[in-house]
Amino acid sequence: MNFWVRIRPALFIIALLGVWHVGAASQKTHLLPTPFETAAGIVELLQRGLLIKYIVASLFRVTWGFVGAAVIAIPLGLAIGWYRRAEMAINPLVQILRPISPLAWIPISILWFGVGDIAAIYLIFLASFLPLVVTGINAVGSIPQVYINAGRNFGLSSTSVVYRVLYPAVVPQLIIGLRITLGIAWLVVVAAEMIAVNSGLGFLIVDARNAGNRYDLVVAGMVMIGIIGLVLDTGMRSLEKARSLRWGYSED
């Protein structure tokens, strides 16, 4: 039974590849490449030294934008959630700005920073900042009041309550928020690279489309985006298994 459960995802992927191959091979215009042609495109990019270069460029931008947003947004969100008056004053502004798509800021980012890494990093920062602020606010608001009261009854100072009650209580929710926001950041970097830079996986897709309709390279770039996104999500999910954080998640 365990054997079939383990190989079920692999069988599903093989079935999808089979459907993809049949659909691509039966089309008359042959715009969609087959899985074998896509794999050949990936090999070609590796041989030309472009694949690793573009992957590193995309990860570089995501790392700086996402980490920069997390370092600023999480403490800010926790502080706003901890002080109710600050939440009442600032939260409406956050909720107004949050629905604005980060891609809407592309013209402004190019105007301010030009075409290059800084513009893309700025867009990723914007895409990550507000969701993480909201995550911090909601994480503090979801702490049962009994936890805080218990800490104060044991004579903890305000600083000790923050470090010994607040942070341990919110970390599981923060990890979930970080995981979701990292996925958003990865989506935004691909879109930003199609417009604001001349390298990265997003640029690869546009450049392959414009340079002779190389749809095998277009789909190859899409496949690599999906694989890297899966790896990033798996890495974030591994944090949930840390022994110090396991209490915050239900056991299946």
The proportion of the chain whose per-residue pLDDT surpasses 70, expressed as a percent, equals 83
Tell me, what amino acid is at 43? V
**pLDDT for residue 69:** 93
Among residues 221, 183, 228, 227, the alpha carbon closest in space to that of 202 is found at 221
Total-model pTM: 0.81
**pLDDT for residue 81:** 81
Tell me, what amino acid is at 228? I
**pLDDT for residue 15:** 82
Res 251 pLDDT > 60: no
Please report whether residue 178 resides in a domain.
Answer: yes
Res 248 pLDDT > 60: no
Please report whether residue 128 resides in a domain.
Answer: yes
Mean per-residue pLDDT for 104-132? Answer: 86
Question: Is the distance from CB of 207 to CB of 216 less than 8 angstroms?
Answer: no
Please report whether residue 152 resides in a domain.
Answer: yes
Query: Which is more confidently placed, 145 or 76?
Result: 76
Cβ partners under 8 Å of residue 122, min gap 6: 65, 105, 109, 112, 113
Mean per-residue pLDDT for 107-118? Answer: 83
Among residues 240, 124, 134, the alpha carbon closest in space to that of 191 is found at 124
Res 189 pLDDT > 90: no
Q: Give dist(CA 198, CA 57) in Å, integer.
A: 10
Q: Residue holding tokens 């990033």?
A: 232
CATH of residue 163: 1.10.3720.10
- Count of domains for the chain: 1
**pLDDT for residue 65:** 92
Task: State CA 231 to chain mean position distance.
Answer: 11
- Provide the residue range defining the domain that includes 191: 34-248
